[in-house]
Amino acid sequence: MKQFVKDLVHSYEEPLKEIRHHLHENPELSFEEYRTAEYIRKALGSMGIALQDGITGTSTVGILKGREAGPCIAFRADIDALPVEENNDLPYKSKTPGIMHACGHDTHAACLLVLARILSEHPELVKGTVKFIFQAAEEKLPGGAKALCADHALDGVDMVFGMHSSSNHPLGTITLSHSSSSAAIGIYEVAIHGKGGHGSAPHNAKNPVPVACLLASALNQILAEKKAPADTGVFTVSYINGGQYPNIITDTVTLGGNIRTQDNDLIQQIFGHIDSISHGICEAHGMTCDVTTTLGYPATINTPEYADVIADAADTMGYTPVEESGSLGGEDFAYFLMEKPGAYFHVGMADPDRPITSSPHHNCSFQLDERGLAIALEMELALYLKLTKQDGE
pLDDT tens-place string over residues 359-382: 889 999 999 999 999 999 999 999
pLDDT in tens, 243-255: 999 999 999 999 9
What fold is seen in the domain 184-295? Answer: Alpha-Beta Plaits (3.30.70)
What is the model's pLDDT at position 353?
A: 77
10-39 per-position pLDDT tens digit: 999 999 999 999 999 999 999 999 999 999
Average pLDDT over residues 170-186: 94
How high is the pLDDT of residue 231?
A: 81
In the chain, what percentage of residues exceed pLDDT 90? 91
Give pLDDT, residue 358. 63
> Is residue 137 predicted with pLDDT exceeding 70?
yes
pLDDT on residue 351: 77
- pLDDT bin (cut points 50, 70, 90) of residue 391 is confident
Just list the catalytic residues.
80, 138
Contact of 258 with 292, CB cutoff 8 Å = no
Domain coordinates of the chain in residue numbers? Answer: 2-182+299-387, 184-295
In this predicted structure, what is the pLDDT of residue 232? 82
What class is the 2-182+299-387 domain? Answer: alpha beta
pLDDT of residue 357: 56
Would you state the pLDDT for residue 355?
Answer: 65
pLDDT at 227: 85
What pTM, to 2 d.p., does this model score? 0.92
What pLDDT does 30 receive? 98
- Report the share of the chain in percent with pLDDT over 70: 99
| pLDDT computed for residue 359 by the predictor | 81
The residue-averaged pLDDT of 246-275 equals 95
In the predicted structure, residue 190 carries a pLDDT above the cut 60: yes
| Same fold: 2-182+299-387 with 184-295 | no
**Residue 140 pLDDT greater than 80, yes or no:** yes
Residue 173 main-chain phi, psi, to 5 deg: -90, 130
Mean pLDDT of 314-338: 93
How far, in Å, CA of 118 to CA of 382, rounded?
A: 12
Please give the angle made by the CA atoms of 360, 363 and 367, to the nearest 5 degrees. Answer: 60
Left if phi > 0, otherwise alpha if psi is -120 to 50, otherwise beta: which for 343? Answer: beta
